[in-house]
Amino acid sequence: MIRIANAQGFWGDSLEAPLEQLRGGPIDYLTLDYLAEVTMSILQKQYARDPQAGYARDFPQMIERGAKEIVQRGVKVVANAGGVNPETCGEAVAAALARAGYQARMKIGVVTGDNILDRLDDLVARGIELRNMDTGEPLAAVRERVRSANAYLGAFPIAEALGRGAQIVVTGRCSDVALSLGPSIHEFGWKRDDWDRLAAGVVGGHVVECGAQATGGNCQVDWETMPDLAGIGYPILEAEADGRFAITKHPGTGGRVTVAGVTEQLVYEIGDPRAYITPDVVADFTTIQLKQAGPDRVQFWGIQGRPATHFYKVSISYAAGFKAAGTMTYGWPDAYKKAKMADQILRTRLERLELKFDAIHSEYVGANACHGELLSGEPSPDLAEVTLRVGVRGSDAAAIERFTREIAPLALNGPPVVTYPASGKPKVEEVVAYWPALIPKSEVTARVQVREA
Partner 1 sequence: MSRIQLREIAHARSGDKGDCANIGLIALRPEDYPALVTQVTAERVKQHFRELCRGRVERFELPNLNALNFLLYEALDGGGTVSLRTDAQGKTLSAALLRMEIEI
Interface contacts to partner 1, rule CB under 8 A = 37-38, 134, 218, 220-221, 260, 263-274, 285-290, 320, 323, 325, 359-361, 363, 365, 369-375, 389, 391-393, 431-434, 436
Q: Which amino acid is at 419?
A: T
12 or 251: whose CB is closer to partner 1? Answer: 12
38 or 140: whose CB is closer to partner 1? Answer: 38
State the Cα–Cα distance between residues 23 and 19, nearest whole angstrom: 6
Note whether 252 and 232 are within 8 A (CB): no
Question: Distance between terminal CA atoms of the chain?
Answer: 28
User: Who's near 295: CB < 8 A, 6+ residues apart?
Assistant: none
Alpha helices in 278-317 (DSSP H): none
Is residue 271 classed as helix, strand or coil in its secondary structure? coil
Q: Least Å distance between CB 187 and partner 1?
A: 27
345 or 365: whose CB is closer to partner 1? Answer: 365
Q: Least Å distance between CB 118 and partner 1?
A: 23
Beta strand pairing status for 385-394 and 311-331?
Answer: antiparallel
Q: Least Å distance between CB 432 and partner 1?
A: 5
Q: Least Å distance between CB 298 and partner 1?
A: 12
Q: How many CB atoms lie within 10 A of CB 11?
A: 21
77 or 335: whose CB is closer to partner 1? Answer: 335
Torsion, Cα 151 155 159 160, to 10 degrees, reads -30
- The helix or strand, by DSSP H or E, that contains position 264, with its residue range, turns out to be helix 259-266
228 or 272: whose CB is closer to partner 1? Answer: 272
48 or 270: whose CB is closer to partner 1? Answer: 270
The residue among 153, 182, 156, 162 whose CA lies nearest residue 82 is 153
State the Cα–Cα distance between residues 296 and 127, nearest whole angstrom: 52
Q: Least Å distance between CB 386 and partner 1?
A: 13
Residue 257 sits at φ, ψ, to 5 deg, of -105, 110
Q: Least Å distance between CB 263 and partner 1?
A: 5
Q: Least Å distance between CB 22 and partner 1?
A: 28
DSSP 237: E
40 or 106: whose CB is closer to partner 1? Answer: 40
